[in-house]
A = this chain, B = another copy of it.
Amino acid sequence: MDNPILVEVSRGRLVESRHRGSVAVVDAEGSTVLTLGDVERRVFPRSAVKALQALPLVENGIADKYGLTDEEIALACASHSGEPDHVRVAASMLAKAGQNESCLECGAHWPLGDAATRALAASGGQPTQLHNNCSGKHAGFICLACGLGDDPKGYVKSQHPVQQAVRHALEDLTGASHTEDVSGIDGCSIPTYAIPLPALAFGFAKFGSGVGISPGCKAASERIRTAVARHPFMVAGTGRFDTKLMDILGERAFVKTGAEGVYCAAFPELGYGIALKADDGAGRAAEAMMAALILRFLRLDDNERAMIDAMAQPILKNWNGIEVGRIRATQELMV
């Protein structure tokens, strides 16, 4: 089955590029609200499930044990831009568990944020593991290991108690099996398990609504959603799509991007969970798709609608600031 074209990129009067994709919107009872394209195919959720991966940290009382702040809990769900505040908060999480940057096993890379990279280079600095966009999630994993009394060493391995707890949380919420045959290694070295989009969307519907999950999981989900809504900068960074969307919508939409064109969301007021993927892995397509689904499902005032409409159909400008084209979600999504 060929997935439909869900995003077009125009230049002048012509369509220059086309993105296909698939979408699942599911409610908290597990009923399908919308599917587009082949939603049976398993998809690696990558960083889009970081909030679900942070549930054991909060649900087991470890976040409270170490007195993690809302900023720190938000950073545990982040693919951050490596800006100074992200680095500071990741270091603070590690210090609370009596650890430091040397315990991280995510690897170092230059900040995702271009301005942050240039500022770091201008200061004569080099990136550390704290600059890795996943450092907050990994700092959370180390807090979890230490809080449970486990040696954090090797916490990225699938056999480690941390990854077992994370896997169980994901299996519980999505109902999808997390077995070796559907596993891969993520950019930050932890295992990632491919999940059909409806199961992923169902997991986010539960995460957003608290329906069908234990009181402990419900409380942990609320704590995480509140923390992220209060600090949307922490989950992404300056000018990033997740940050902008949650700056506008607050707790009304929890959204999280993942590599290779994955995007997940929860709309608590509707009890909906969303999971989508651009076939080709393009982030620009996944972003336009998510903005279009927000326009379609959420009740927005004129101001919110205008801001999110601009994110669903961003204008492309060249190096001289001249408008050259547009990215546009297609009618199939906008209806």
Chain A residues in contact with chain B, CB under 8 A?
2, 9, 11-14, 16-20, 42-44, 105-110, 114, 117-119, 121-122, 124, 132, 181-189, 192, 194, 260-261, 278-282, 285, 318-322, 324-325
Contact = CB atoms under 8 A, between A and B. Distances in A.
A2 B12 CA distance: 23
A106 B322 CA distance: 11
A185 B280 contact: no
A124 B123 CA distance: 9
Contacts of A110: 114, 118
A185 B107 contact: no
A185 B324 contact: yes
Contacts of A321: 107
A120 to B, nearest CB: 8
A120 B323 CA distance: 28
Contacts of A13: 181-182, 184
Contacts of A325: 184
A257 B179 CA distance: 40
Contacts of A278: 280
Q: List the 3 closest A-B pairs by CB distance, nearest first.
A: A107-B319, A12-B184, A17-B281
A278 B16 CA distance: 10
A16 B117 contact: no
Contacts of A194: 12, 14
Contact of A132 (B186, B261, B319, B324): B319
A121 B111 CA distance: 14
A322 to B, nearest CB: 6
Contacts of A186: 318, 324
A189 B44 contact: no
Contacts of A119: 121
A37 to B, nearest CB: 12
Nearest to A12: B184
A49 to B, nearest CB: 15
A44 B10 CA distance: 11
Contacts of A2: 2
A135 to B, nearest CB: 11
A44 B17 CA distance: 10
A296 B137 CA distance: 44
A187 B280 contact: no
A183 B184 CA distance: 43
B282 A324 contact: no
A270 B261 CA distance: 39
A260 B107 contact: no
Contacts of A11: 44, 184-185, 192
Contact of A14 (B17, B132, B184): B184
Nearest to A321: B107
A279 B320 contact: no
A282 B17 CA distance: 9
A261 B17 CA distance: 9
Contacts of A124: 122
A319 B14 contact: no
A138 to B, nearest CB: 11
Given A11-B44, A14-B42, A106 B183 contact: no
